[in-house]
Structure 1
Amino acid sequence: MTEADSTPKDDRVAEPVRGPLIERIIEASAKNKFLVFIFTIFAVAGGIYGLIHTPLDAIPDLSDVQVIVYTDWEGRSPDLIEDQITYPISTVFIAAPKVKFVRGESMFGKSFVYVIFQDGTDIYWARSRVIEYLNSVRGSLPEGVNPVIGPDATGVGWVFEYALVDDTGKHDLAELRSIQDWNLRYALASVKGVSEVAPVGGFVKQYQVDLDPNALVAYHIPLSDVVSAIKMSNADVGGRIFEVATTEYFIRGRGYIKKIEDIENIVLKVENGTPVYLKNIATVHLGGDIRRGVAELDGQGETVGGIVVMRYGENALRVIDGIKKKIEEIKSSLPDGVRIVPTYDRSDLIKRAIATLREKLIEESIVVALVCIVFLWHIRSSLVAIVTLPIAIILSFIPMWWMNLTSNIMSLGGIAIAIGAMI
């Protein structure tokens, strides 16, 4: 046995050293051109779907996930509001899950509590937690106080504003406010994506009772009895049914107040068989509620208007288009001489911003394509980079749609900047 024969033979074949991941991807793509082409078609289709369904807005929504708790307690001072309402409500939310911090604000007759949640928290999950914790604190609040949560909107949800203009001068501010509160508000609130229609300006019409102190003393009627009698008189009372000749009749007492005379004829007490009516001790008339601000249009005087607030996560441009269509539908139902004048419309800013960025994207793509052709000096090689640009731009809308981001100045501007980096 020779020395050469005694040496063991190694039959293993040396495997080629595999390159970096990017090289392997390029190699696999070159070997599977048809699959890459099919995958690109599906990816572009997904990008087009994302482009169509990505919400459009002029500015990005960088506001916190916030839920507002509003409480109204008429006639109370700010310090009493703070002690009896704001403090109890604020403290109960401190232990709520995912709450970042809580802010409270007390003013005359009103309380606002702002519950700020951690970034990424679902807004409707946050609202349900607020309602849950709010129910636990209602028992410790003063009687008759009912806190409510604000609309499901953000700080940039103010997308449209309008004013009511009366060219004939036949309608006063109270009548215009009634048109806004009972017609326009409900019509615009039915538009998809609208969270709230907040009225501004004018007078809120109400029945006002001016008591005569001397008459109260003369009839020995305390003020609390007057308030109680008015509240109890504005109600319908249900009864039972009775049958007459196989026909059922419903028995009920109809007591809802419909006119001034109904209030004047409220019975406060009976003395020696003679009723004492409210009109014997007071004067009843229509008037406007106390105002703490006014709305004015272009220096022409006071007016009545509304602010349309968009729901969280909606497409601002689509919501505004729906509002405009609804306004066109309800124009015919307005009184003669009353018209709706838009005073703020974000759609114009959105369209101008998108058009400007679209123009710049096209210009930048053309410049980058020319640079590729000049430096490579080979049409087929340049086409690889030139065709990649629009595909990459379209694909960028897939994660934007998936993450519920809006197409705005900042996001589209980032895409424009990234065109040069891709080459």
Structure 2
Amino acid sequence: MIGRLIAFSARNRLLVLLATLMLTGIGIWSLINTPLDALPDLSDTQVIVYTEYPGQAPQVVEDQVTYPLATALLAVPHAKVVRGFSNFAVSFVYVVFDDGTDLYWARSRVLEYLNFAAKRLPDGVTPTLGPDASGVGWVYEYVVLGAQRTLAELRSIQDWLVRYQLITAKGVAEVASVGGFERQYQVIVDPQKLQAFGIPLDKISDAIRASNQDVGGRTIELTETEYMIRGRGYLRGTDDLGAVVLKASPTGTPVLLHDVARIQLGPDERRGIAEMNGDGEVVGGIALKRDGADALNTIGNIKTKLEQLKPGLPDGVHVTPVYDRSELIGRAIHTLTRTLIEESLIVAAVCVLFLLHARSALVAILTLPIGVLIAFAGMHALGIGSNIMSLGGIAIALGAMVDAAIVMIENAHKHVERLKPGEPRGAALIAAATEVGPSLFFSLLVIVVSFLPVFALEDQEGRLFKPLAYTKTFAMAGGALLSVTLVPVLMLLFVRGRIIPEHRNPINRVLIWLYRPVIGAVLKAPVLTVLLAALALAATAWPVSRLGSEFMPALNEGTLLYMPVTLPGLSVTKAAELLQTQDRIIKSFPEVESVFGKAGRANTATDPAPVEMTETVINLKSESEWPAGMTIEKLQAEMDQALRLPGVSNAWTMPIKARIDMLATGIRTPVGVKVFGPDLHELERLATDVERVVHGIPGTTSAFAERLEGGHYIEIT
């Protein structure tokens, strides 16, 4: 069958070339439209249920919100893990689904169960779903700066101007604000005046609510014109608030709100702050990529929106990026693309050197890019993006892809050598291709089949390695197809002119001269050869036993993430002071480009961090600007030593790696110990003991036990 296919291709050269051009066009289109990212998205399908319960302590939130929601969501179909976190005034419930579950199907199922669970919650508490973003969706972070603007003004610009513009960018799921002050109208009542006028406290909120509304009436017709009736009642400032009528005195004099309260415009309570370069607090924003969106295109859309927004910003206000994943994507793809080009050039050079016939070498060289484009067509069809793993699969396949063409060409050269002078070569070339074509085709398919076990991997392992297996399979399958269709046609076109016999190639002669004594020696002593091979295999046992294990190799993202924690109960003011001190120390290192620190959480369901947890993004300069001998490991160690502050436990990672670790384990490090039990006090004691023991394990850089207790309360009984 393969022989007939080779003969058919040789007879229909134009048809084969047209089909190849069509495949090449499809491959180029797929290459242009394939999503780009640094790593495949390793996150599980996850739905976040976010609930606010203003003013309530964590234990109250746990008992009245988190526990009822978590127990109700345990029954959601295909949910494998339900995690609940209770912080001051907010609850987070993470529902993690089985591998392969569609995100929007999962969100609809969670909504169905929330309809039932919401009935068990306190009045006025409404759970909401988090954004349809993956756990590694934080692709772009920025700060809004203005020299003559207060933090409250900058936060208003971020919330009401910048955020709404960026949320319209294609691929963006949410834009979260962090830092600064959210302005609000504050009514500070005087209890003695309330008592004197006989006004209950709930009357204040009822009166404000009733006075802050527009109402509509019917229409009337006057002088052939229709007029719509409306009552204007929205409150537009502190003066309007002060004029709200609470009651009338016995003499008919109205009691107004400003008679019993002080009204002011002030900041809302803060649960998150942002700081930059140790220079003081700033207002920041975080853009989250929608699940499945192209990260590079999404970031490009965000930058386009920011450029369009520039003319509309107030004077002196500008937006500065502090984390841009497109830089990492660009570096990773550029490095791998350069490696692929270098590998292709080496393969081409080897073909020319061993064949000593440039036109024959073109047969093998031309099949390489076409095979790669076929792989990209398969990637696009299955929705696989270009990243380190998928392009790595193509890099692995390049050598084997060209091997079939080289063997077929060498066999063709042998057949041509045996021809008489002037005898036509066409039949000999087809015979040469038919002779080895079937074996080459099936040998490539055997390599494809060898990767089938990779497709059986599940969860994070599958999401990490399947792109590599798919692209290698597509490339090898494309190479196998080309070896029995395009290669015979190209041989008929390019294998012309004088063919140098193999024994006259100086490189081949040297290699054969070296090879023959070796093969002769091992054949004369087969037992000794097998024993030496067995000893070599046994000698690897000790070094293999000393090797460590890691889920995936460390990726130098070019950006560090510093994540220290302190004990619970840290005030926002002290957190801001500590954050500024840490950022100033980090910025003093000459290798650092910029520092953006966040203490507490941003206004997004994807960030459950308490005030005592800090996340500092450290953008590094190019390594060419670093002092001689400096490495990222050494830099991290020096920073860690400089940042050893009392009561602070340091942790170092990188942004993408941190998100992957938190998704996999529910904590911020790749290794953790979970302690279960009914007594919170005993759990904390045991966790502290574990922390002390783990600190002494070789290789541990930091260990910290999450404190379940330790918050400070003023209790009224």
- Normalised by the length of structure 1, the TM-score is 0.89
Match status 1:140 vs 2:120: yes
Which residue number corresponds to residue 335 of structure 1?
314
Q: For 1:307, which of 286, 309, 314 is the aligned residue?
A: 286
Of 328, 333, 341, 1:349 maps to 328
Which one scores higher on RCO, CA 8 angstroms, separation ≥ 6? 1
Distance apart, 1:336 and its partner CA = 1.4
User: Residues 139-191 of structure 1, C-alpha deviation per residue, up to 9 Å, x if partnerless?
Assistant: 33222112111111112221111111113x2x110000000111111111111
Q: 1:85 maps to which residue?
A: 65
Post-superposition CA distance 1:1-34 (Å, at most 9, x none):
xxxxxxxxxxxxxxxxxxxx65565455445444
Match of 2:447 in 1: none
* 1:414 corresponding residue in structure 2: 393
Which has a greater percent of helix? 2
Cα drift, residue 419 of structure 1: 1.2
Report the more deviating stretch, 238-247 or 115-124.
238-247
Determine which of 238, 241, 246 is the counterpart of 2:219.
241
Output the CA distance in 2 between the equivalents of 1:208 and 1:182.
20
Is 2:398 aligned against 1:398? no
Whole-Å separation in 2 of the counterparts to 1:198 and 1:49: 35
Q: Corresponding residue for 1:69?
A: 49
Matches within 5 A, 1:150-299: 150-167=130-147, 169=148, 171-272=149-250, 273-299=252-278
Alpha carbons 1:102, 1:116 under 8 Å: kept: yes
Q: Indicate how the Cα distance of structure 1 residues 70 and 25 shifts in structure 2: closer, same or farther if over 3 A, else same.
A: farther
SS in 1 for 2:271: coil
Partner in structure 1 of residue 24 of structure 2:
44
Q: Deviations over 1:223-254 (max 9, x none)?
A: 11112212222112222223333333322222
CA–CA separation in structure 2 for the residues paired with 1:73 and 1:27: 76
- Specify which of 115, 129, 136 is matched with residue 95 of structure 2: 115
Aligned-partner residue type, residue 87 of structure 1: Y
Is structure 2 residue 77 aligned with structure 1 residue 97? yes
1:313–1:404 Cα contact (<8 Å) kept: no
| Alpha-carbon distance in 2 for matches of 1:147, 1:28 | 66
| Distance in 1 of aligned mates of 2:384 and 2:61 | 39
For 1:176, what is the secondary structure of its paired residue?
helix
* Alignment counterpart, residue 110 of structure 2, candidates 130, 139, 156: 130
Counterpart Cα distance in 2 of 1:301 and 1:388: 58
Structure 2 CA distance for partners of 1:99 and 1:34, relative to 1, 3 Å: farther
What SS class does the counterpart of residue 273 from structure 2 fall into?
coil
Q: Distance in 2 between matches of 1:394 and 1:241?
A: 68
Q: What percentage of aligned pairs have identical amino acids?
A: 57
SS at match of 2:276: coil
Report how far residue 210 of structure 1 moved.
0.9
* Partner SS state of residue 143, structure 1: coil
Structure 1 residues 220 and 408: alpha-carbon distance in aligned structure 2, compared to 1, 3 A threshold: same
SS in 2 for 1:155: strand
Distance 1:292 1:318 in 2: 32
- Give the drift of 1:288: 0.4
1:360 aligns with 2:339: yes
Specify which of 11, 16, 33 is matched with residue 53 of structure 1: 33
Q: TM-score, normalised by structure 2?
A: 0.54
SS in 2 for 1:300: coil
**Alignment gaps of 5+ in structure 2:** 404-717
Query: Would you say how many aligned residue pairs link Structure 1 and Structure 2?
Result: 401
User: Cα deviation per residue 1:297-352 (whole Å; 9 max; x = unaligned)?
Assistant: 11111111211111122222222222222212211111211111111112222222
Rounded Cα–Cα distance in structure 1 between residues aligned with 2:78 and 2:3: 45
- Shift in Å, 1:138: 2.5
Distance in 2 of aligned mates of 1:27 and 1:95: 61
CA distances 1:55-107 after superposition (whole Å, capped 9, x unpaired) = 11122211111111111110112222222222222233322223222221111
Question: How far apart are the structure 1 equivalents of 2:96 and 2:383?
Answer: 20
Q: Does the residue aligned with 1:134 lie in a helix, a strand or coil?
A: helix
- For 1:381 and 1:28, the matched residues in 2 are separated by 21
Residue 385 of structure 1, CA deviation: 2.4
Q: Secondary structure at the match of 1:131?
A: helix
| Cα displacement (A) at 1:268 | 1.4
For 1:70 and 1:177, locate their aligned partners in 2 and report how far apart those are by CA, in whole Å: 23
Looking at structure 2, the residues matched to 118 and 45 of structure 1 have their Cα atoms a distance apart, in angstroms, of 37
Q: Distance in 2 between matches of 1:420 and 1:92?
A: 54
On the 8 A contact 1:195/1:309 being kept in 2, the answer is: yes
User: Is residue 370 of structure 1 aligned with residue 343 of structure 2?
Assistant: no
Question: Matches of 1:94 and 1:22 in 2, distance apart?
Answer: 55
The structure that is strand-richer by fraction is 1
SS in 2 for 1:296: strand
Q: Is the 8 A contact 1:200 1:304 kept in 2?
A: yes
Contact 1:54 1:406 in 2 (8 A): yes
Q: Secondary structure at the match of 1:249?
A: strand
1:131 CA displacement: 2.2
Could you tell me how far apart the structure 2 residues matched to 1:182 and 1:296 are?
Answer: 21
CA-based RMSD: 1.9
Q: For 1:376 and 1:65, how far apart are their aligned partners in 2?
A: 52
CA distance in 2, matches of 1:244, 1:366: 86
Tell me the equivalent position of 1:3: none
Question: How many angstroms apart in 2 are the aligned matches of 1:217 and 1:351?
Answer: 67
For 1:66 and 1:24, how far apart are their aligned partners in 2?
52
Q: Say whether residues 1:324 and 2:303 are aligned partners.
A: yes
Using the TM superposition, give the Cα deviation of residue 39 of structure 1 relative to its aligned residue in structure 2, in angstroms.
Answer: 2.6
Cα distance between partner residues in 1 of 2:3 and 2:116: 62
Structure 2 CA distance, aligned partners of 1:136 and 1:76?
Answer: 23
Deviation at 1:417, TM superposition (A): 2.1
